[in-house]
Structure 1
Amino acid sequence: MQARMNNPAMLLPDAFKQIQALMKTIHSVDIPAETLELVHLRSSQINGCSFCAHYSSKQLKALGTSDDKLWAVAAWREAPFFDDGERAALELAEATTRLADKGDAVDDELWKRITEHYDEEQIAALTLMIGVSNLFNRVNAVTRQPAGDTF
């Protein structure tokens, strides 16, 4: 696949700076970088964004994530490689990415599981990371950014 155009965030430098600032803020919260990348990868898998899935996989490898865990992200419910906090975060990523799939995307049971593992600041970081991931996925899908390209 060939890109239709350069990444829009790169064409609008002020937008790129703001996205970078938001990502810096998200990563400043006391939550494992691996967890943030896991939710990014899961959202990207759901949305079929090869660019983001590839990028996130490379980031997870750089963070020391095992191959077993990396390869199992799409099947996290059945795989033994995730702790309860990561499972809650991955479930939040799925629910937030698939907002239209049910009336109450993040129901009370999921919210309870999230709050058992994360405080409000961490939930804010997770939610923003999932939102930014979905932004990246949509921008990359529209412009057909191929996996393996770097920015």
Structure 2
Amino acid sequence: MQRMNAAEVAPGAYQAVLGLEKYVRANVDHTILELVRLRASMLNGCAFCVDMHSSDALRAGESSRRLFAVAAWREAPFFDERERTTLALTDAVTRLGEHGVPDEVWDAAAKQWSEKELADLVMAIATINVWNRIAVTTRTQPPTEA
């Protein structure tokens, strides 16, 4: 059962996070953004966000095969080098407490993305992590009907 509706209880804070969301939607490639959202949500155990972002990606034309493979992206052959560096950066940023962001992960991403694109990517990863923390903490559940 959901503990609270953060949008109702703290609307100003919720609107601030929505501002970040609008920024990343406007500045990060949609396919990349959905990979980031799905991977971070998987790592954070956010059922609501995994459901929402996999559904959104499917509606946008992403293949179910690639979406399932996000869970094992290092072994899957379905992702290009830019996507792989994005997923590695997503893993490192999402798991900051384990070992920070290793230089090799950052340097690989910096070779694939301009400085501005990389800044936007970091903002996208940070934003989904905020959403995950809100949804997991408040026990926000995905809809049971499709």
How does the TM-score come out when normalised to structure 1? 0.88
Task: Measure how far apart 1:133 and its partner are.
Answer: 1.1
Aligned match of 2:18: 20
Residue 63 (str. 1) matches residue 60 (str. 2) = yes
Equivalent positions of 1:1-151 (< 5 A) are: 2-6=1-5, 8-29=6-27, 31-102=28-99, 105-148=100-143
Q: Deviations over 1:18-44 (max 9, x none)?
A: 222222211222x42111111111111
* Structure with greater helix percent: 2
Conserved? CA contact 2:41–2:129, under 8 Å: yes
AA of the residue aligned to 1:23:
E
**Structure 1 residues 46-55 or 131-140, which shifts more?**
131-140
Task: Measure how far apart 1:12 and its partner are.
Answer: 2.5
Task: Measure how far apart 1:87 and its partner are.
Answer: 0.6
Task: Measure how far apart 1:106 and its partner are.
Answer: 1.6
Task: Measure how far apart 1:47 and its partner are.
Answer: 0.8
Cα distance in 2 for partners of 1:73, 1:53 equals: 11
Conserved? CA contact 1:4–1:143, under 8 Å: yes
Conserved? CA contact 1:55–1:148, under 8 Å: no
Task: Measure how far apart 1:81 and its partner are.
Answer: 1.0
Cα distance in 2 for partners of 1:147, 1:138 equals: 15
Cα distance in 2 for partners of 1:117, 1:148 equals: 37
Conserved? CA contact 2:92–2:102, under 8 Å: no
Task: Measure how far apart 1:15 and its partner are.
Answer: 2.4
| Paired-residue identity, % | 40
Which consecutive unaligned segments of at least 5 residues does structure 1 have?
none
Task: Measure how far apart 1:121 and its partner are.
Answer: 1.4
Cα distance in 2 for partners of 1:10, 1:79 equals: 41
Q: Deviations over 1:44-95 (max 9, x none)?
A: 1011000011111011112211011011101001111111101100000100
> How many residues matched?
144
Task: Measure how far apart 1:101 and its partner are.
Answer: 1.1
